[in-house]
Amino acid sequence: MAELTKIMWNLPNLVENTDMNKLFLAKLVENKILSEDLLRNIQKKEKNNKFPYSIFMEIDKKGKDSVTKLVDILIETGNVKSAKLLDNKRKSVESHIRVSTVDQNSDDSEYNINREDTKKLSLITRINAVSDNMLKQQGIEPPDIQVRDFEEPDILKVNVIKATEYFIDQVKIYNMRSEVKGLAVILNNEEFTLEEEFQTRKGSQVDVKNLSALFQQLGFSVVILQNQTRSETLKYLIDFSSNSAHMSADMMVFCMSTHGPERGKLMSSDCLEIDIEKDILRRFTNDNCPDLRGKPKFFIFQACQGQDTDYGVELKRGNTDCYTDARPWITGAEFPPPSSPLKDPAWEDMLIAYATLPGFVSYRDHVRGTWFIESLCKVLMKQSCDTNLRDMLDEVARLLKKYQTEMGAKQSFKYEVIHFYKKLFFHPGLPATTLQ
DSSP per position, 157-173:
---PPPPSS----TTTB
Q: Report yes or no: 158 and 214 within 8 Å, Cβ to Cβ.
A: yes
Residue 367, φ and ψ in degrees, nearest 5: -100, -40
The residue count of the chain comes to: 436
Of 376, 431, 416, the C-alpha closest to 160 is 376
Task: Name the helix (H) or strand (E) containing 222.
Answer: strand 220-226
What is the pLDDT, as a whole number, of residue 149? 34
CA distances from 395 to 246, 378, 402 (A): 29, 10, 12
Residue 222, φ and ψ in degrees, nearest 5: -95, 135
Our CA angle for 274, 276, 278, nearest 5°, is 85
Residue 426, φ and ψ in degrees, nearest 5: -80, -25
Greatest CA span in the chain, whole angstroms? 87
Distance of alpha carbon 267 from alpha carbon 201, whole angstroms: 12
Residue 339, φ and ψ in degrees, nearest 5: -75, -15
Of 17, 167, 156, the C-alpha closest to 86 is 17
Of 289, 278, 300, the C-alpha closest to 184 is 300
Of 265, 212, 221, 267, the C-alpha closest to 240 is 221
**What pLDDT tens digit does each residue of the chain (436 aa) get?**
344 678 877 787 888 888 888 888 888 999 999 988 888 888 877 666 678 888 988 998 888 889 999 999 998 888 888 888 888 766 533 333 333 333 333 333 333 334 343 333 333 333 344 444 444 454 444 334 333 333 345 689 999 999 999 999 999 999 999 989 999 999 999 999 998 888 899 889 999 999 999 999 999 999 999 999 999 999 999 999 999 999 999 999 999 999 988 888 999 999 999 999 999 999 999 999 999 999 999 999 999 877 776 666 655 544 433 322 222 333 344 444 455 555 556 788 999 999 988 888 888 888 889 999 999 999 999 999 999 999 999 999 999 988 887 777 889 899 999 999 999 999 999 998 865 5
Distance of alpha carbon 314 from alpha carbon 316, whole angstroms: 6
Sign of torsion, CA 388 393 398 399? Answer: positive
CA distances from 368 to 18, 22, 140, 158, 284 (A): 18, 27, 35, 12, 32
Q: Report yes or no: 349 and 290 within 8 Å, Cβ to Cβ.
A: no
Catalytically annotated residues:
259, 304
Distance of alpha carbon 246 from alpha carbon 124, whole angstroms: 55
The domain limits of the chain are 6-138, 182-311+337-418
Residue 419 region by backbone torsions, left for phi larger than 0, else alpha for psi between -120 and 50, else beta: left
Distance of alpha carbon 225 from alpha carbon 244, whole angstroms: 19
What is the pLDDT, as a whole number, of residue 130? 41
What is the pTM for the complete model shown? Answer: 0.61
DSSP per position, 62-102:
T-HHHHHHHHHHHHHTT-HHHHHHH-TT------------S
Cβ burial of 148 (10 Å; 0-12, 13-18, 19+) is exposed
Distance of alpha carbon 425 from alpha carbon 436, whole angstroms: 17
β-pairing, 414-418 vs 350-354, is antiparallel
> Which residues does residue 267 pair with via DSSP β-bridges, in sequence order?
273
Our CA angle for 215, 375, 145, nearest 5°, is 150
Topology, domain 182-311+337-418:
Rossmann fold (3.40.50)
The DSSP 8-state label assigned to residue 283 in this structure reads G
> Which residues does residue 297 pair with via DSSP β-bridges, in sequence order?
252, 350
Residue 145, φ and ψ in degrees, nearest 5: -105, 125
